[in-house]
Chain A
């Protein structure tokens, strides 16, 4: 039976058992629902939960372990000669069998033993499928009948159903923690494996980055070089350009919108600016590579400068444009949070509006503004598509914005796109870079959130 059909059948069984439970509760109370502990619907939910949840859990576990169990059984039945191979060879054999099973390669092109194993595999799959269908349906019906028979007027069905919902809510809210844990563990484990091959100090202080390892170990440059300093400086250069564009413009825009603009301009200007925040980064990347980079190159050429076609400047400027609304909306919030009394005090002393802003409001809002800029920096460091499309791949150690640089995110993408083998330092290096990226952005965010919160408390 196809999986989707089984799921559909289980769902309809669940729906049916809801009706069953509800009917039953009305029957035991002889139609007088005041006698029941809970509303009739809750008895329905009670039976439906008993019908659906155990069957669903079995279903998920089954699918989780089915592949492994079947593979082990198939391998167990292979001839002694094949089975005595080392583990990696066995995995290859298993892959071949699977490919035959799923029709990726024709059965005629492989050894007869493999074909036999593939047939065995198919047979086991059919058995497993049948068993799963029977087990889940019997379980669903059995549990539902049992739950139905236990319905009586004193039963606290609502409390039981609510407890299940509560468990669901708690599980859902723990997903945030599981995700963080998943990120930390997955990145950390692969990074540790990388650091076993390449010492940490070489990675953090090395000045040369060339991860392309040679195929044969006796070739020149076979070891590759994993010094990440050029990537860090490249990331810093691009982010610095972005912040130089975004911080003043964003801040001035926020000041203008919150202090000078008429309500009309504000209600028009703010959403227009917010459009910038909603445009996908891949669009910015395209814009940077095809419009801004040639423009900057052209200007450079007319000034007699030699600008690389993948200059850090183009990527940085476009990234800056992207984070303008980010800076401006965060600054807008903190400027609006400055109490009106401070402004009134400054005006009463005869200060002009700009003097009030420069000497009173900005100093008062400074922690919040800095927090916002820190968040923007973390955004810029983690931004990927713009730099992938507009900055280069060459790991140059330079501070010249007209040259091409590469960043941490660009290297992660280049190392991981395409086929990967999970035991080469080249692939693992991406995870080490990911770890650095995660830690740096995490620290920036923590500091920024702390600063902003402290600042808010000050005026509350």
Chain B
């Protein structure tokens, strides 16, 4: 007797049963991948927009127009006028205060006067001195001068400080805001291009602080780095790729290079501090030491890129050169190197871009000091752009936030240019053999 077996589910049915679920999970997985990519790109967008929105205002600065009377009485300290000593030591602060008083005669009490003087930056004094030093004929005359406003005024005008906030919660008093409104009404207050940001060194006063010193420091440091790391990196790559015998020593060098590429940058700072400053005795804060440390740091990058460039030159080039009687050295220097040069240059530019953005090791070797003077040589104390950003980011004044962001924009601008050059070089000279 044949009992009919209950219908066994066929394989295809079981597959069909699970299919909807499997397709759903496929879709989910696909979306997760896309979301991850979008997350990364959104981060880039947020980062850039947050920096730019914070920083673009720093390229403008509030200026106040004051009527300055260069009264002779200020310049006759030493008895004879027009001598340089008298010109440079005259009481320019007094002149600024005098002109502010005559603009707002209602400021009578001592406290009110102080509030009034606080509207104008201390930089106004230096500005007047420079004007008179350049043109002593100004003495005795009255001229309108645009002088930088104090950072608090600047913040108010740019809207970073709330007018509506209660007086105790903002750094400007009501009386000062009334004066400022008068100045605005008389068109004696306006936003102008902030040239000081590009021409000044660092300063404790945000309205006078500029990036020129840090930029010069960065350029000097990078020059040292480039002059050392490019020849050494290329020489190492040439040796390892073209000449080195396969032995323990060569392997040891390669292991070292690979590990150095992954050593945290701060450890290079410790090395610089212990060896270059303590042992050899180079001056602290000098671009020379910074350049040396960054050289050691960027060498692995340059070596690895240069080796890749040498590797991509086909052996037929070498064989052809050797075949017509060139020595091994001649083959490498006259035939292989020129072909590998664009690749090496690309690697070097990328290494330099890394070095330009590096901060941590430079903190160790004292490039973090407050330096007003613009460095002129590799032994002068200096700071670099990223360290300047770090220093400003630490400053409590609100006005330094926009300056930090602006300095970051300048730094990123340089990095973008360098990377764009590297990409262009690669595109232009890339050869497929």
Contact = CB atoms under 8 A, between A and B. Distances in A.
Interface of A: 67, 158, 162, 165-166, 168-170, 172-177, 179-180, 182-183, 186-187, 189-190, 248-253, 255-257, 259-261, 269, 272-273, 275-276, 278-287, 289-291, 321, 324-325, 328, 350, 352-355, 357-358, 375, 378-379, 381-385, 388-389, 409, 412-413, 416-417, 422, 430-431, 434, 437-438, 441-442, 445-446, 449
Contact of B358 (A67, A176, A280): A280
B271 to A, nearest CB: 5
A190 B275 CA distance: 11
A386 to B, nearest CB: 10
B256 A256 contact: no
A23 B337 CA distance: 28
B270 A431 contact: yes
A384 B360 contact: yes
A252 B360 contact: no
Nearest to B270: A434
Which of A187, A250, A275, A321: most chain B Cβ within 10 A? Answer: A275
B393 A286 contact: yes
A378 to B, nearest CB: 6
B47 A412 contact: no
Given A186-B270, A260-B30, A449-B258, A441 B386 contact: no
A424 B301 CA distance: 36
Given A162-B329, A286-B389, A182 B275 contact: yes
Contacts of B22: 352, 355
A176 B357 contact: no
Contact of A412 (B259, B270, B281, B303): B270
Interface string B251-277: 011001111101111111111011100
B33 A273 contact: no
Given A187-B270, A409-B264, A434-B267, A282 B239 contact: no
Interface string B35-63: 11101110110110011001000000000
A186 B274 contact: yes
B244 interface: yes
Contact of B40 (A187, A324, A357, A445): A324
B401 interface: yes
B29 interface: yes
Given A173-B239, A273-B41, A354-B29, 10 more contacts: A67-B281, A175-B296, A176-B260, A180-B260, A249-B40, A282-B357, A354-B25, A382-B266, A384-B265, A388-B390
B72 interface: no
Contacts of B412: 279, 283
Nearest to B297: A179
B37 A257 contact: yes
Name the residue among B43, B238, B244 with the largest chain A CB count within 10 angstroms.
Answer: B43
B161 interface: no
Contact of A190 (B40, B274, B363): B274
A168 B39 CA distance: 49
B300 interface: yes
A330 B265 CA distance: 20
A381 B264 contact: yes
A103 to B, nearest CB: 14
Contacts of B34: 256, 260
A280 B360 contact: no
A383 B271 CA distance: 17
Contact of A176 (B25, B44, B253, B386): B253
B274 A187 contact: yes
Q: Do most interface residues of chain B lie in helix, strand or loop, or is the interface mixed?
A: helix
A417 B394 CA distance: 14
Interface in B313-346: 327, 329
Contacts of B405: 286
B404 A286 contact: yes
A173 B235 contact: yes
A328 B268 CA distance: 27
Interface residues of B, number: 85
A353 B50 CA distance: 38
B126 interface: no
B12 to A, nearest CB: 11
A162 B263 CA distance: 34
9 contacts: A168-B235, A175-B232, A176-B253, A186-B275, A281-B359, A286-B404, A354-B29, A375-B262, A438-B263
From B22, B30, B54, B360, residue with most partner A Cβ within 10 Å: B360
Nearest to A272: B41
Given A67-B281, A252-B36, A416-B364, A175 B29 contact: no
A325 B412 CA distance: 18
Given A170-B239, A176-B303, A352-B26, A413 B360 contact: yes
A272 B44 contact: yes
B368 interface: yes
Given A169-B239, A281-B357, A413-B360, A186 B40 contact: no
B411 interface: yes
A280 B415 contact: yes
Contacts of A357: 29
A378 B262 CA distance: 8
Contacts of A431: 270, 274
B408 A283 contact: yes
B271 A179 contact: yes
B243 interface: yes
A273 B37 contact: yes
A256 B25 CA distance: 15
Given A190-B274, A260-B30, A416-B273, A437 B389 contact: no
B232 A256 contact: no
**Highest count of chain B CB atoms <10 Å: which of A169, A176, A179, A280:** A176
B260 A179 contact: yes
Nearest to A252: B36
Given A173-B239, A176-B303, A290-B401, A186 B258 contact: no
A434 B266 contact: yes
A176 B50 contact: no
Given A175-B232, A272-B41, A446 B259 contact: yes
Contacts of B358: 280
A282 B390 contact: yes
A44 to B, nearest CB: 15
B32 interface: yes
B265 to A, nearest CB: 7
Nearest to A449: B258
B225 interface: no
Nearest to B278: A422
B53 to A, nearest CB: 10
A173 B252 CA distance: 11
Contacts of B50: 287, 291
